[in-house]
């Protein structure tokens, strides 16, 4: 078990306040297999006087996207007007993803998901992992080889928190020159493709929230595709494919809440066993 930092609860509150509505569970349709988690990411295009111009993607582990028909579980808090949870089937699933080289990560421009909502008469009300939270080269370099407490935000496939309920899974990550960044131990089923966060210390018992990257499948310690490499890979995607991703201007500035100021959210978390 990792030694939890003194601001452990505040890290979880900050994580849920920033990204609680960023994740989406999915699986291969009509089969109890290939359970995974995807999440929304805003790639920064430019800063303007009106706000940040971003390109929006759904992100997950590429290995879990190679089949024709998928089934998303739509959480009520992700749509307006709110509705009861439902299953969303998507055909041509594999063709909708852009694979980022050999990173093991795939991204989906959100246009099909926006179109689905429009046909059904509702709008997405999501959070996104933003450029300011996604790890930089400096954030990754600061992982110096010692295990660090980490927080995975995923959708576990078990009976503890309901069908594909969202969970903050607490564990550890470590970076080595040989293996890169890895999640120590096993991941709960359904959490491949989920974002992994840390509370990077800033001194004097303060921290910043950092999304290190995407949890990938594997044996033993699970590899994590880090966001510094994901950013670089997105820049190599052909312009005609990148242009399929919705481009929006974010006018409201997202701030990391001060300790104790986060609005409480209903959540479930557990340590990695």
Q: How far is CA 158 from CA 5, 35, 73, 94, 232, in A?
A: 28, 11, 14, 26, 35
If phi over 0 gives left and psi between -120 and 50 gives alpha, with beta otherwise, what is residue 92?
Answer: left
Which of 136, 105, 40, 108 has the alpha carbon at shortest distance from 244? 108
Residue 115 three-state SS: helix
SS3 137: helix
Q: What is the structure's pLDDT at 44?
A: 87
pLDDT of the chain, 273 residues: tens digit per residue: 566 767 889 999 999 999 999 999 999 987 767 889 999 999 888 888 888 888 899 999 999 999 999 988 888 889 898 776 678 888 899 999 999 999 999 999 877 788 888 888 888 899 999 999 999 999 999 998 899 999 999 998 875 545 678 999 999 999 999 889 999 978 888 999 999 999 998 877 789 999 999 999 987 789 999 999 999 999 888 776 777 776 777 765 433 333 333 333 333 333 333
| Residues 199/229/131/4 CA torsion (nearest 10 deg) | -10
């Amino acid at each position: 078990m990792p030694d939890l930092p003194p601001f452990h609860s505040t890290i979880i509150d900050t994580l849920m306040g920033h990204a609680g509505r960023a994740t989406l569970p999915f699986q291969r349709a009509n089969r109890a297999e290939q359970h995974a988690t995807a999440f929304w990411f805003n790639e920064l295009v430019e800063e303007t006087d009106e706000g940040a111009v971003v390109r929006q993607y759904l992100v997950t582990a590429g290995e879990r996207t190679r089949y024709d028909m998928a089934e998303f579980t739509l959480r009520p808090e992700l749509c307006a007007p709110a509705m009861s949870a439902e299953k969303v089937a998507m055909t041509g699933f594999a063709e909708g993803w852009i694979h980022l080289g050999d990173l093991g990560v795939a991204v989906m421009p959100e246009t099909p998901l926006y179109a689905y909502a429009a046909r059904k008469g509702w709008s997405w009300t999501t959070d996104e992992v933003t450029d300011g939270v996604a790890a930089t080269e400096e954030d990754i370099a600061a992982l110096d080889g010692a295990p660090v407490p980490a927080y995975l935000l995923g959708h576990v496939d078990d009976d503890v928190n309901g069908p594909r309920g969202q969970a903050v899974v607490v564990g550890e990550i470590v970076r080595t020159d040989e293996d890169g960044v890895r999640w120590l131990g096993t991941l709960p089923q359904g959490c491949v493709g989920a974002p992994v966060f840390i509370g990077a210390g800033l001194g004097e018992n303060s921290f910043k929230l950092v999304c290190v990257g995407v949890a990938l499948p594997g044996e033993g310690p699970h590899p994590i595709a880090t966001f510094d490499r994901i950013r670089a890979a997105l820049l190599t995607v052909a312009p005609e494919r990148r242009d399929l991703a919705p481009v929006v201007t974010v006018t409201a500035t997202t701030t990391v809440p001060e300790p104790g100021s986060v609005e409480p959210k209903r959540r479930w978390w557990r340590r990695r066993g």
